[in-house]
Amino acid sequence: MSAQPTATTAVYRVTGMTCGHCESAVRTELAGLAGVTSVRAVAATGEVTVVSAAPLDEEAVRAAVDEAGYELTGRA
């Protein structure tokens, strides 16, 4: 049997999201990172859940969130 790759899930805190448009902007930027398979952003909680094939570089995540116009404050 060959080992199947295991997806990695990380939850980040993002400040500044207030609506669905904000969620969409953050989702779009993070979905563009290599290996990302799923992104769920929730403005009400400020949490962004990212599922990827391998752990992501936090600086890459920060840069993508910055590009969307919001601030990554760390892991949830």
Per-residue pLDDT tens digits for 21-60: 999 999 999 999 999 999 999 999 999 999 999 999 999 9
Instruction: Report d(CA 3, CA 74) in Å as an integer.
Output: 31
Question: How much is the pTM?
Answer: 0.90
CA 17-23-41 angle, 5° bins: 100
Residue 64 has pLDDT above 70, yes or no: yes
Give CA–CA dist 56/43, Å, rounded: 22
